């Protein structure tokens, strides 16, 4: 599923610098090797030199560099309508904004749908519902009061709450008090927005949001942890945000936030081994295979490496080809190169 607007629509959007399309597609300029948002203020390239991409990642993988003017990797530049919707949901998660409401405000629901799927891995409606439920869940878990929590959150009845819960999580809230949920936060970084997930035990997910199939990946995590996923934060996510910022500022080399990475014994072995590769160093897939005691299983090791769900913290980017070439990277090779360069530069900046 590519999920980009039709070609003529993208052309028009770019021509008008239509902010409603920001984040929905990117365009590479063949003559300069640079890729932009549809709203880039720079002079328009000739149409025949333009190549369209569904995600920033796709443009990166194709070898384009991000434009310095429109900064296509930055999260802060979201379209004004998205900012407004998110703020409204934050202020009052009990709010219900329907497709009809969106239309009345002059916002195309299919644009909203594409944007939220792309950036948050879920539709706007699913996002709002999950955000609303996350507040209820927290309240129930902290205070153990289902009735009050349901009432406070704007659900008119228990059955309404149960229905909403089941629609979001595919199950009933019967054991909500005792169960864990995966909290999701979106963080910005010099390499573009990241989605982070955490259970009560620790960080279980960190991915670039433009990674192909984010939606499918979130579904896989939900299944793996058998836990509802809700936008929100917890202590681990707050710590992660601080540690990541220090990492990117080269003020710190290590992460101390706890990690949770269930998998097959083999996968866990590989991921555990990745954690032992020191900052600034590299290993080949062959070395990694030897380290886990399966010297012939180079491909399987490579696959497990690629299935790492906690980018950067479980440093799969430190594994490269034997010949020194970068090999693969889920987030695109430019990001892998950036991380290796960041770690390579001698000395740390003063904190
Ligand atoms: Zn640009």
pLDDT for residue 90: 77
The answer to whether residue 204 is catalytic is no
How many other β-carbons are positioned within 10 Å of the β-carbon of residue 46? 9
pLDDT for residue 1: 35
Question: In angstroms, what is the span from residue 68 Cα to ligand 1's centroid?
Answer: 6
| Cα angle 35-22-2, degrees, rounded to a multiple of 5 | 75
pLDDT digits (tens, 9 = 90+) for 260-294: 999 999 999 999 999 999 999 999 999 999 999 99
Report residues near ion ligand 1: CB below 5 Å: 36, 40, 42, 67, 69-70
Q: Give the span between the Cα atoms of 146 and 278, in whole angstroms.
A: 47
Give yes or no for a contact between 176 and 143, defined as CB atoms under 8 angstroms apart: no
pLDDT digits (tens, 9 = 90+) for 233-266: 889 999 999 999 999 988 899 999 999 999 999 9
pLDDT digits (tens, 9 = 90+) for 124-164: 888 887 777 777 766 666 665 666 666 666 666 767 777 76
Flag whether pLDDT at 317 surpasses 80: yes
Q: Give the span between the Cα atoms of 17 and 37, in whole angstroms.
A: 9
Question: In angstroms, what is the span from residue 69 Cα to ligand 1's centroid?
Answer: 5
Q: Cβ contacts of residue 283 below 8 Å, gap of 6+?
A: 277, 291, 318, 319, 320
Flag whether pLDDT at 174 surpasses 60: no
Higher-pLDDT residue of 219, 303: 303
Question: In angstroms, what is the span from residue 212 Cα to ligand 1's centroid?
Answer: 22
Question: In angstroms, what is the span from residue 66 Cα to ligand 1's centroid?
Answer: 7
pLDDT for residue 319: 95
Give yes or no for a contact between 3 and 117, defined as CB atoms under 8 angstroms apart: yes
Question: In angstroms, what is the span from residue 26 Cα to ligand 1's centroid?
Answer: 9
Q: Cβ contacts of residue 185 below 8 Å, gap of 6+?
A: 195, 196, 197, 198, 231, 232, 233, 237, 241
Question: In angstroms, what is the span from residue 293 Cα to ligand 1's centroid?
Answer: 48
Average pLDDT of the chain is: 83
Flag whether pLDDT at 92 surpasses 90: no
pLDDT for residue 138: 65
Flag whether pLDDT at 351 surpasses 50: no
pLDDT for residue 303: 93
Q: What is the CA radius of gyration of the chain?
A: 21
Identified catalytic residue from 36, 67, 70, 181: 36
pLDDT digits (tens, 9 = 90+) for 208-226: 876 556 677 777 888 888 8
The answer to whether residue 36 is catalytic is yes
The predicted model scores a pTM of 0.69
For residue 228, CA distances in Å to 129, 168, 169 come to 12, 8, 5
Identified catalytic residue from 67, 70, 181, 316: 316
Helical axes 124-143 vs 109-120, angle rounded to 10°: 50
Q: Which of 60-74, 87-101, 309-323 has the highest mean pLDDT?
A: 309-323
Question: In angstroms, what is the span from residue 134 Cα to ligand 1's centroid?
Answer: 37
144: phi > 0 → left, psi -120 to 50 → alpha, else beta; which?
A: left
Q: Cβ contacts of residue 191 below 8 Å, gap of 6+?
A: 73, 208, 331, 335, 338, 339
Q: Cβ contacts of residue 105 below 8 Å, gap of 6+?
A: 81
Give yes or no for a contact between 112 and 124, defined as CB atoms under 8 angstroms apart: yes
Higher-pLDDT residue of 174, 45: 45
Range in 10-14, 122-126, 176-180, 223-227 the model is least confident about: 176-180
């Amino acid at each position: 599923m590519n999920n980009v607007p039709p070609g003529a629509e993208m052309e028009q959007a770019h021509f008008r610098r239509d902010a409603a399309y920001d984040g929905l597609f990117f365009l590479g300029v063949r003559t300069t090797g640079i890729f932009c948002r549809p709203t880039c203020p720079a002079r328009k390239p000739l149409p025949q030199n333009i190549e369209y991409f569904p995600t920033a990642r796709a443009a990166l993988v194709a070898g384009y560099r991000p434009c310095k003017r429109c900064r296509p990797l930055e999260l802060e530049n979201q379209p004004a309508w998205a900012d407004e919707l998110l703020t409204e949901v934050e202020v009052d998660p009990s709010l219900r904004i329907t497709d009809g409401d969106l239309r009345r405000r002059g916002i195309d629901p299919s644009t909203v749908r594409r944007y939220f799927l792309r950036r948050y891995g879920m539709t706007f409606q699913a996002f709002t519902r999950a955000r609303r439920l996350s507040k209820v869940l927290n309240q129930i878990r902290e205070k153990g009061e289902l009735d009050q929590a349901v009432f406070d959150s704007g659900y008119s009845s228990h059955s309404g709450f149960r229905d909403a819960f089941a629609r979001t999580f595919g199950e009933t809230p019967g054991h909500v008090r005792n169960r864990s949920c995966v909290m999701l936060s979106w963080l910005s970084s010099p390499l573009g927005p990241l989605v982070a997930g955490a259970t009560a035990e620790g960080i279980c997910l960190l991915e670039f949001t433009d990674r192909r199939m984010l939606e499918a990946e979130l579904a896989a995590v939900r299944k793996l942890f058998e836990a509802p996923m809700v936008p929100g934060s917890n202590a681990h996510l707050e710590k992660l945000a601080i540690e990541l910022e220090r990492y990117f500022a080269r003020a710190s080399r290590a992460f101390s936030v706890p990690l949770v990475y269930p998998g097959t014994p083999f996968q866990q072995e590989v991921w555990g081994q990745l954690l032992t590769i020191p900052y600034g160093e590299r290993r080949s897939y062959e070395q990694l295979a030897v380290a886990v005691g399966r010297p012939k299983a180079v491909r399987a090791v490579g696959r497990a490496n690629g299935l790492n769900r906690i980018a950067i913290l479980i440093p799969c980017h430190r594994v490269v080809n034997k010949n020194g070439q970068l090999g693969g990277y889920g987030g695109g090779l430019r990001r892998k190169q950036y991380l290796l360069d960041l770690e390579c530069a001698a000395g740390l900046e003063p904190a």
